[in-house]
């Protein structure tokens, strides 16, 4: 699996070659949450990954994309937050021992098991992709109890990771956000928008579907409180959730499960930005 330690090594390596890097903030247990910026022209595009701990292949995919942008010709201005949930990643990679006297509480939240390979939440047991202020708590799968997935937290933006990502997004003002998850080869873009915004967002999502070969999902499928949901409803910008890795793989996903996706379309943010320019959306 791609770990937080490997991400820090990659970010450090890129910064030594002059790439702008930094942190959007820190996780609940004090792990810095890195960003990487590959400069270009026009308005920024923001890419996030690794908000769900067990979907560490999404972070691997994002970092591979950063290296490709670094070495290939590109014109767009792209920011990546490749691992929004470093505590969750550390919990899977290093176990509950990495959290000191929280160890027993975490094992209890994990149903008594010390195998965290299917854990999605942060290390407080909050599913970060339900903690944004967008119909918070109204999702079909939402839970009111801390655990490995679906717990919405005590209130919208109760978690330092979601506050940091929301503040960073408001600071850089992207014209498009992409959120990498796994698995299933699906693209989500809807969250109550209508009229021209819905038409714009559907066309961008259709184009993303044609580039990736993923299925376009209309409607929300009962989602609420997600980062994409918040970008669409609060910021009024197109925002896609992309489920990488084909369905035939099972969780925990092996690194190779996103290899074909990367080969097929390594420059997705660049192409989507160009499409938005061509169509007058930016
Ligand atoms: Zn996910």
For residue 15, the domain's CATH number is 3.40.630.10
Domain count, the chain: 1
Kindly give the distance from the C-alpha atom of residue 39 to the centroid of ligand 1, in angstroms, as a whole number: 27
* pLDDT score recorded for residue 179: 98
Q: Are 273 and 38 in contact (CB under 8 A)?
A: no
Structure tokens at 63: 């970092």
Q: What's the gap in Å between 136 CA and the centre of ligand 1? A: 17
Q: Residue 51 in 3-state DSSP?
A: coil
pTM of this prediction? 0.98
Which pLDDT score is estimated for 220?
87
| Residue ranges, the chain, pLDDT below 70 | none
Ligand 1: distance of its center to the CA of 280 in Å?
31
The pLDDT assigned to 42 comes to 95
The three-state secondary structure class of 38 is strand
Q: What is the pLDDT at residue 85?
A: 98
Angle, in degrees to the nearest 10, between helices 56-71 and 4-16:
10
CA 153 / ligand 1 centre spacing (Å): 17
- Between the CA of 84 and the centroid of ligand 1 the distance, in Å, is 11
What letter does residue 79 receive in the DSSP assignment? E
Task: Find the domain containing 128 and state its range.
Answer: 4-278
């Amino acid at each position: 699996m791609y770990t937080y330690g490997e991400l820090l090594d990659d970010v450090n390596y890129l910064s030594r070659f002059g790439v702008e890097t930094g942190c959007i903030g820190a996780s609940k247990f004090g792990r810095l949450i890195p960003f990487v910026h590959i400069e270009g022209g026009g308005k920024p595009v923001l890419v996030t990954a690794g908000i769900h701990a067990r979907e560490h292949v999404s972070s691997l995919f994002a970092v591979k994309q950063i290296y490709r942008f670094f070495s290939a010709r590109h014109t767009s201005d792209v920011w990546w937050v490749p691992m929004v949930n470093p505590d969750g990643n550390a919990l899977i990679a290093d176990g509950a021992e990495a959290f000191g006297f929280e160890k027993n509480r975490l094992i209890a939240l994990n149903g008594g098991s010390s195998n965290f390979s299917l854990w999605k939440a942060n290390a407080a047991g909050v599913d970060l992709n339900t903690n944004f202020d967008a119909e918070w708590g109204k999702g079909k799968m939402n839970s009111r109890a801390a655990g490995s997935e679906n717990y919405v937290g005590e209130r919208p933006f109760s978690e330092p990771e979601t506050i940091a990502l929301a503040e960073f997004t408001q600071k850089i003002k992207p014209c498009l956000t992409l959120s990498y998850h796994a698995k299933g080869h699906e693209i989500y873009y809807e969250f109550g928008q209508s009229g021209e915004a819905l038409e714009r967002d559907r066309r961008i999502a259709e184009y993303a579907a044609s580039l990736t070969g993923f299925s376009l999902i209309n409607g929300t499928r009962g989602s609420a409180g997600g980062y994409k949901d918040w970008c669409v409803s609060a910021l009024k910008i197109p925002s896609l959730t992309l489920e990488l890795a084909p369905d035939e793989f099972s969780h925990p996903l092996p690194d190779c499960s996103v290899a074909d996706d990367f080969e097929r379309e390594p420059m997705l943010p660049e192409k989507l930005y160009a499409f938005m320019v061509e169509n007058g959306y930016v």
